[in-house]
Amino acid sequence: MDALIRQRYRARVTVTLDMLLTSPSIEEAGTEARGLVAARHGFQDAAIESLRVTPLSLSESMRIDNLALWQESEALALGTVDQRLRWGTDALPIEEIADLARPELFRSFVAFRKYNRMAVSAIPHPRDSNGVWTCVQIGDHERDRNRQLPIAWLTMPTPVLSQREWVTLRAINVALEATNRHPWLAPSPTPAATVATRIHKGTCKVCEREAAETAALVTISWAGRTLSREYRL
């Protein structure tokens, strides 16, 4: 039987990301939304084909504020008496509240390794006979081992995964489903917890060698803010 003839196709995928923003105007909210998408999810601004920003109604705004207040109070139950007293007088920093929530909300992911930013040493720079990177410039008397090499860092989405990475991602998705059932996260058409696969690349501008690592960025919308942790694939 003859092999099937394969035709190539172009697919255009539109990604919808719901965000809650506080801004002086619709125009500035739109600018902030584009910046957040480009920075956090690796998309280029030019890839965003359309963006619509509409103001919230008073009732919707009150519902969101009440939900955030309840979510914060649940996290504060895990805190100290001092933290609860400061929270009651609006003297508790937002980051301190988030630090109480993170271990609880990311509990399903404890089996996964957190992703640490790629180091310059991850790039296979060429070495001389003494084991020193040859792309480090030579000083008048000795090699400057502490000189900061010019590295081009890039983070972008990736749909390409190895078998091992795919298995890890499937396990992360199971943990994600468990997280979305957490009692602190109210049921919603848009899941509070999401995951995006990313590839981090580093290229030395001197020797032009590069290294790449894949990771899964897990984000959780909670109490009007976004909590995130990145895990190795």
Count of structural domains within the chain: 2
Together in a domain, 50 and 114 = no
Statement: residue 144 has pLDDT above 60? no
Domain assignment of residue 138, yes or no: yes
Q: Could you tell me the pLDDT band of residue 11, with boundaries at 50, 70 and 90?
A: low
Query: Which strands form 210-222's sheet, in the order they lie side by side?
Result: 151-157, 193-204, 210-222, 225-232
The pLDDT tens digits for 40-83 are 555 667 667 777 878 878 888 888 889 899 999 999 999 999 99
Whether 189 and 178 have beta carbons less than 8 Å apart is answered as no
Are residue 123 and residue 210 in the same domain, yes or no?
A: yes
pLDDT in tens, 154-203: 988 887 899 999 999 999 999 999 999 999 997 777 889 999 999 999 99
Whether residue 134 sits in one domain with residue 206: yes
Residues 24 and 138 both lie in one domain: no
149 and 217 in a common domain: yes
More confident residue, 130 or 113: 113
Least confident of 13-17, 21-25, 28-32: 13-17
Residue 29, in any domain of the structure: yes
Instruction: Give the chain's mean pLDDT.
Output: 83
Could you tell me if residue 210 is inside a domain?
A: yes
Judge whether 99 lies within some domain.
Answer: no
Would residue 143 count as lying in a domain? yes
**Domain that includes residue 139, residue range:** 106-232
- Report pLDDT for 143: 47
Count CB neighbours of 101 within 10 A.
22
The rounded percent of the chain whose pLDDT value lies above 70 is 82
Residue 152 lies in a domain: yes
Shared domain check, 221 and 149: yes
Residue where a domain stops, chosen among 21, 39, 55: 55
Angle CA 9–11–16, to nearest 5:
170
Let me know: does 156 contact 42? Beta carbons within 8 Å. Answer: yes
Q: Give me the amino acid identity at 96.
A: E
